[in-house]
């Protein structure tokens, strides 16, 4: 089945530093990838839609200069949390659609637990 690999699975960083999270589709190509944020015991909130070869589309209230998204290839999207602060601590999950499958469901990575101290 379609596999999305997300790395790292967890990261602890100091306030003010930047953290990069990678999302790879291992056995399919994804024109579009999605980045979600999830707080404890809450649902997933869509942060942005990552489009291969073009700029990401951010949801209302999400700072694009804070959460930099790059989708340089059909199998890789990255999310960089810049100048991280404790309030950025959260669970970040990426997902991708298989562009070769009509109405493909989203395939999710296992998430990245970010803790900013």
Partner 1 sequence: SQQGEEDPQALSIQEGENATMNCSYKTSINNLQWYRQNSGRGLVHLILIRSNEREKHSGRLRVTLDTSKKSSSLLITASRAADTASYFCATDGNKLVFGAGTILRVKS
- Interacting residue ranges for partner 1, rule: CB under 8 A: 4, 6, 34, 36, 41-46, 49, 91, 93, 95, 103, 105-111, 113
The answer to whether residues 27 and 74 touch, using CB atoms and an 8 Å cutoff, is no
Q: Toward partner 1, which CB reaches closer, 9 or 17?
A: 9
Q: Toward partner 1, which CB reaches closer, 28 or 34?
A: 34
Q: Toward partner 1, which CB reaches closer, 16 or 100?
A: 100
Q: Toward partner 1, which CB reaches closer, 3 or 17?
A: 3
CA 36 to CA 80: how far, in whole Å?
13
Q: Which two tokens stand for residue 24?
A: 């790879």
Q: Looking at residue 17, what DSSP letter applies?
A: -
CA 2 to chain centre: 17
Measure the N-to-C terminal CA separation of the chain; round to a whole number of Å. 37
From the CB of 30, what's the least distance to partner 1, in Å?
Answer: 14
From the CB of 85, what's the least distance to partner 1, in Å?
Answer: 22
From the CB of 101, what's the least distance to partner 1, in Å?
Answer: 11
Q: Which two tokens stand for residue 116?
A: 């900013």
Using alpha carbons only, what angle is made at residue 78 by residues 34 and 114, rounded to the nearest 5 degrees? 85
From the CB of 52, what's the least distance to partner 1, in Å?
Answer: 16
């Amino acid at each position: 089945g379609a596999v999305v690999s997300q790395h790292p699975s967890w990261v602890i960083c100091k306030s003010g530093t930047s953290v990069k999270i990678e999302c790879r589709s291992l056995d399919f190509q994804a024109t579009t990838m999605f980045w979600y944020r999830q707080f404890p015991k809450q649902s997933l909130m869509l942060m942005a839609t990552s489009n291969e070869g073009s700029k990401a589309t951010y949801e209302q209230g999400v700072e694009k200069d804070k959460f930099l998204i790059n989708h340089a290839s059909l199998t890789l999207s990255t999310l960089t949390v810049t100048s991280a602060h404790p309030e950025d601590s959260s669970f970040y999950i990426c997902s991708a659609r298989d562009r070769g499958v009509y109405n493909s469901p989203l395939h999710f990575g296992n998430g990245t637990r970010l803790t900013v101290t």
